Amino acid sequence: MTEQPLNFVDLAAAASLLVINGVLSWAFRLGLERSIAIAAVRMVAQLGAVGFVLKIAFEQGSPALTTLLAAVMILMAGLEVATRQEGGAPYWATYGIGTATLFFVGIIATLYTLRAIIRAEPWFSARYVLPILGMILGNALTAVALVLNTLVQTVSRERTAIEARIALGATRFDAMSTALSGAVRTGLIPVLNSMAATGVVSLPGMMTGQILAGAEPTEAAKYQIIIMFVLSGASALAATLSAIFGVYLLTDTRHRLRLDRLRHS
């Protein structure tokens, strides 16, 4: 099987399925018709723009352009982490934690994948770097957002008990150990669920794309297994780092809770 090119008629046929969403929204009086339409238009515009930019990056093969696009992806991922928070911690603080964590994890995981596992040549090609980095960031940002949100929520709820432990001489990490482990566990749930369901319940996007492009299913499965392991490791590292940074965010140098950064009911 060879790659099947798609035209605007094919895209329109797929878009017609959104009518189902609109009908259900109208029938159940959800009021989501406008939101569905806006989300669809936004998705098309974003993916169209990304496809155009990636085409240029792939054709030019410029390391500088690849670095610029990677930086934009990381900055936007950090922004997504900050916007998913439900209050409490300062916006710019969570943005800084999210961006720093995703930068470190994204770069390390991408380099390790391309140099040590896949051994792509040239490894710095935009065709390899940007798709791998995008998949890593997409999963890691979910873990970071969940960790920070859960940590702030848990510490706010258990504030009295945590302050009592600190008053008895516990360090910030000892006092917040339960909240810390709970936040990391929550952050890892999506990637663990994805790993458990892969192959039995669903065929992931990368494997499906390779099969549709004509790759052998067994080879596509090998690449998907590699990617799932990489995403799992990257998510675990991102969740752990963001939880540690979150503890520092919610405490001062004397290990006291920063009440101004907690949620107040």
Same domain, 35 and 139: no
Same domain, 90 and 158: yes
Q: Which of 98, 200, 181 is nearest to 141 (CA)?
A: 98
- Enclosing domain of residue 212: 62-261
Among candidate residues 60, 85, 103, the one where a domain is terminated? 60
Higher pLDDT pick, 4 / 253: 253
Count of structural domains within the chain: 2
Same domain, 46 and 149: no
pLDDT tens figures, 41-97: 999 998 899 899 989 998 888 899 999 999 999 999 999 999 999 877 889 999 999
Same domain, 78 and 209: yes
Tell me how far apart the alpha carbons of residues 138 and 15 are, in angstroms, rounded to a whole number. 24
Among candidate residues 17, 41, 60, the one where a domain is terminated? 60
Other Cβ atoms within 10 Å of 26 Cβ, number: 12
Same domain, 125 and 206: yes
pLDDT tens figures, 117-155: 988 888 889 999 999 999 999 999 999 999 999 999 999
Global pTM value: 0.86
Locus of tokens 């917040």: 176
Tell me how far apart the alpha carbons of residues 113 and 201 are, in angstroms, rounded to a whole number. 26
Same domain, 50 and 116: no
Q: Which of 185, 87, 195, 191 is nearest to 141 (CA)?
A: 191
Tell me how far apart the alpha carbons of residues 102 and 145 are, in angstroms, rounded to a whole number. 11
Among candidate residues 60, 83, 98, the one where a domain is terminated? 60
DSSP annotation of 262: S
Whole-number average pLDDT of the chain: 90
Three-state DSSP string of 112-150: HHHHHHCCCCCCCCHHHHHHHHHHHHHHHHHHHHHHHHH
Same domain, 85 and 55: no
Same domain, 181 and 236: yes
**Residue 1 has what pLDDT?**
46
Same domain, 48 and 149: no
Same domain, 21 and 149: no
